[in-house]
Structures are given as structure tokens and as C-alpha cells.
Structure 1
Amino acid sequence: MDQQKLRSLVFEKTGVKIDIDDPVFALVALNEAVLEEAVERHVALIDAASQELAQQARLAGGLAPHDAGARKPAPAGYAPAPAAPVGAIATQAPAITPRELRLLGAAAGIAILSALIVLGGQAAFSKAPPAPVIQQAKSLTAEEALALQNADKLSKAIQKLDPKVRAQLQAELQK
């Protein structure tokens, strides 16, 4: 623990000057000692747990147990079991799962059923349109037939006129 470095760090962060003989350094030293002891204890626990886990892995795999660095040879006639075949791991999920397909089908069925109910209700509760009034066409008088023939001839004659004259004539007819 570099006390000068700690003094300058405290001064930079807080602006407070502390002396090397300040009691706060005693607390820092105490904290450092407690922390070091706790870290050593945790490292020892982690080491023991990892050794136990390795021992259990060896026993589960059919290998001889491993004793604190001493290797024991495998028993005579012992052959480790072959590893079980490992199936391929799917790296991509399917675009639509079967569950989603079922949900989509159910939603489509409900939508169609709802539409049929609405159309059925509309047909049941709407009024029938009134019957169309059919008028019998009366026969044209000779005068009306002659007027229609003249109108047809006039229409054909207008189409044969010069565009400028045709525009003036149609403007006059609109009045």
C-alpha cells in the first residue's frame, strides 16, 4: 500500500489533505488485511469445490479417481465407454412453429365465422329493396320518330364540320 499515492488520490478527488500519520491509514491497512484474508478463504473454497467437481466428473466418466496430484493407472482390462453420439444442435429456429400455425389457423377460423355471422345478421335484419318500377315504353309518335332521325343526322353532320366551327356550334347549342 503506497501511502503517498493514497494521499494524492484523496486530495485529487476531495481536496482534503491528509497526513501520513492520520488514523485513516490505520483503517485502510485494517481493511486491506481483512480483504486479503477473505479473498484467501474464498480462493481455497473455490479450489476445493473445483477439485471435488473434477473428482466427480472422473468417477462419472468411468475414469480412475485423481488423488491430489498422484495419477493412478487405470485398472487392467479397463476400457472407457465410448462417448454417446451427440445430436446436431439447431442453430436456427423455424420461421413458423407448429404452435404458431395452430394459432394462425384458429384466428383465421374465428375471423371467417365472425364475417359469416355479420353477413347473416345483416341479411336477416335489413329491409328488402323496393321492387323496381317497370314502365312499359309507349310507342313513339311519327313526329317523335322524325325528330330522332333528324337529331341523328344533325349529330353526324356536326362531326364533319371544321373543329373551329364545331366548337362554336356546340357552344351555341349549350345556351
Structure 2
Amino acid sequence: MAMDQHKLRTLVFEKTGVKIDIDDPVFALVALNEAVLEDAVERHVAAIDSATRELVRRARDAGGLPPERSVEHDASNELELATSTSTASRAAAAPAPAPIPTQAAANGITRHEWRLLAAAAGVAVLSALLVLGGQAAFTKPGLTPAQTRSLQEAERLKTAINQLDPKLRTAIEAQLPK
């Protein structure tokens, strides 16, 4: 998987308007990213192959696939066989496996499952409380500049009213609540 540096260069310019040179160190990072991605893909493909082999083995054990014909068959051949064979011919070749009864199906929810459910609910509630507590602790209830100016003006008016003649002050205070 070789990268086309000219194509990447054009793409970066089209999206950001930034011109980069072919010798720019950013291409070293792109190459490093490709190498890391390739390694991760190889590991995931290996894990998928392993899981496919296990799935084929379990399907064969349950009777969903015909028995293995030779030792040389691997999981990918079996998967090909399983996907290429029609559903009707597979059903005719092997009977469908009986469902496996489980304790939960027979008795409803078990005590262990109830405990797990209660623990999960407790963790959810504690997490919500932690988030709300953190928000309350780190959020400052601030006033807008207009609110601050209004409060300052109210303080000045209060001071001015307190300095007025007592008779006039009572008349003004009587008019304020209206």
C-alpha cells in the first residue's frame, strides 16, 4: 500500500489551502501511520481467521456443517463451503441443531444477574452524581456585565435615597414596590 504523495499533497491543498512539499516531514508521519495501520490490520485479520476457524469448528460440532473431509482444509475453505452451499441443501444434509436450554430461559433472571444489574445501576447513579458534583464544583455562577452594572446602579440609588429627607425617603420607598 504505497501512498501517492502528489495526490495527498493536492488533497491537503484543496481541503486546507496549505501547500506542502514532497520532502515535508509530514509525509514521514503519514508513512509511520501506514506502517502502524498495516500492523494493526494484520493482527485483526489473524484474530478474525482464528475466530472463523473456531466458528467453523463449533458449527461442525453442532451439525450445521458437513464433517471435515481432509486435514488440509482450513477455516477459509470451510467458510467458503458454508457460504456457497444453499440453505436448503444444508438443511437437507444435516438436521438443525436443537436449541441449547439455558438457566435464564428456564428460570427467568438468576440471582447473579440481579446482582450484576443492581451493581450496574449503582455505578450509573454514582457516575451521574460525580458528573453533577464536578459540574457544580467547577462552574462559576457569573453575572453578565449588564447585570453587574445594574447592581452597581441600584447600590448608588439606595445610597442616594438614604441621604434624602426622611419624609421624602418614605414617599419614594412607598412608590418603589409598585
Answer whether TM exceeds 0.5 for this pair: no
Q: TM-score, normalised by structure 2?
A: 0.38
TM-score normalized by the length of structure 1: 0.38
Pick 1 or 2: higher relative contact order, CA cutoff 8 A, min separation 6.
Answer: 2
Computing the radius of gyration over CA atoms, which structure comes out larger, 1 or 2?
A: 1
